[in-house]
Amino acid sequence: MAFEGDTIRPLGLVTLKSAYAEAEIDELLSALADIEPYDDKKQKWPVGQKLAQAKRLIQGLQAEFEVLVELLNEMSGLFDRRNALTHSPIYSGTKAVRSRTTGAEQVATAEALTELAASLSNCRFKLTAYRQRTLEPWLAQRGR
C-alpha cells in the first residue's frame, strides 16, 4: 500500500489489526477455559496480561506446545511496539517520542506502521490456525 508519507491511516491499520489479534487471544483463552475459567473480569485485562495468562496456561499443559508459546512471545513483542507507537506523540518527520519513558525516539514511517499491521495480522492467522488445528483437538481428546 502506498500512503505517500501519511502515518495516520497506517496507524489506524495497526489499531484495527491489533484489535483482531487481541480477539484471537480472547478465543485462545476461551478455548482454555476448562483449565482455568476466562470470566468477565479477565476479559477486561490489558492484552499483555492476557498474553501472559495464555502462556502460563499453555506451559502448564502436559504436552509440547513450544510453537504456540513462541507465537505468543512474538505477539507480545508486536503489542509492545504497538503500545509504544499508539501511546506516543508522533511529530512531523515521522518521529515518535515515548513520553512515558526516557523520551527515546523511534521512527514511525508509513512503511514501518504498515509492516507492523501486517505482522500482527500474520500472527493472528497463525494463532487461529494453531488453535483450531492443534490445540482444540488436543483439548477435546484430553477431555474424553
| Residue 3 within a domain | no
Q: What is the rounded CA–CA span in Å between residue 57 and residue 122?
A: 23
| Residue 143 within a domain | no
Is the pLDDT score of 14 beyond 80?
yes
Contact 87, 76 (CB under 8 A): no
Range of the domain at 117: 8-138
Q: What is the rounded CA–CA span in Å between residue 136 and residue 138?
A: 5
| Residue 73 within a domain | yes
| Residue 144 within a domain | no
CA distance between the termini of the chain: 48
Confidence (pLDDT) at 101: 54
Confidence (pLDDT) at 64: 86
| Residue 72 within a domain | yes
Grid coordinates of 102:
526516557
Confidence (pLDDT) at 92: 59
Is the pLDDT score of 3 beyond 60?
no
Give the pLDDT confidence of 57-83 residue by residue, as tens digits: 999 998 889 999 999 999 999 999 898
Confidence (pLDDT) at 5: 61
| Residue 101 within a domain | yes
| Residue 1 within a domain | no
Give the pLDDT confidence of 41-60 residue by residue, as tens digits: 999 999 999 999 999 999 99
Give the pLDDT confidence of 85-119 residue by residue, as tens digits: 877 776 655 666 665 555 566 677 888 889 999 99
- The mean pLDDT value for 7-32 works out to 94
Grid coordinates of 35:
483449565
Name which of 24, 3, 12 is nearest 122 in CA terms. Answer: 24
* Furthest-apart CA atoms within the chain: distance in Å: 59
Q: H helices within 44-65, ranges in order? A: 47-59
Q: How many domains does the chain have?
A: 1
Confidence (pLDDT) at 143: 73
Phi, psi dihedrals of residue 137, rounded to the nearest 5°: -60, -40
125 confidence band (pLDDT: 50, 70, 90)? very high
| Residue 88 within a domain | yes
